[in-house]
Amino acid sequence: MDEEVFPQDSVKDIISRHYVPVRYDVDKDASLFNKYKLPGIPAMLILDENEKELKRMVGFHDADTLVSILKEIAEE
């Protein structure tokens, strides 16, 4: 996703307008991985300001799919 999805302008745009991205390396610290009981990686969690989980995405998602999901969440 680092090479194919996140560099896409549409992805960068929706993230910069509506989200605060945080990159987390489960190899260095598994505490959040365990806290949210993620089934595997790659995974993306959308959390609100109180750390309530709004959406969970596990596995690869192409740019169009990711943008669609992020727009839907931002409009709620």
Q: Residue 69 phi/psi, 5° resolution?
A: -65, -45
pLDDT in tens, the chain (76 residues): 889 999 999 999 999 999 999 998 988 999 988 998 989 889 999 999 999 999 999 999 999 999 999 999 999 8
pTM of the model: 0.82
Task: Give the whole-angstrom CA distance, residue 59 versus residue 76.
Answer: 23
Looking at residue 76, its pLDDT comes to 83
* Domains recognised in the chain with CATH numbers: 9-75 (3.40.30.10)
Task: Give the whole-angstrom CA distance, residue 38 versus residue 72.
Answer: 22
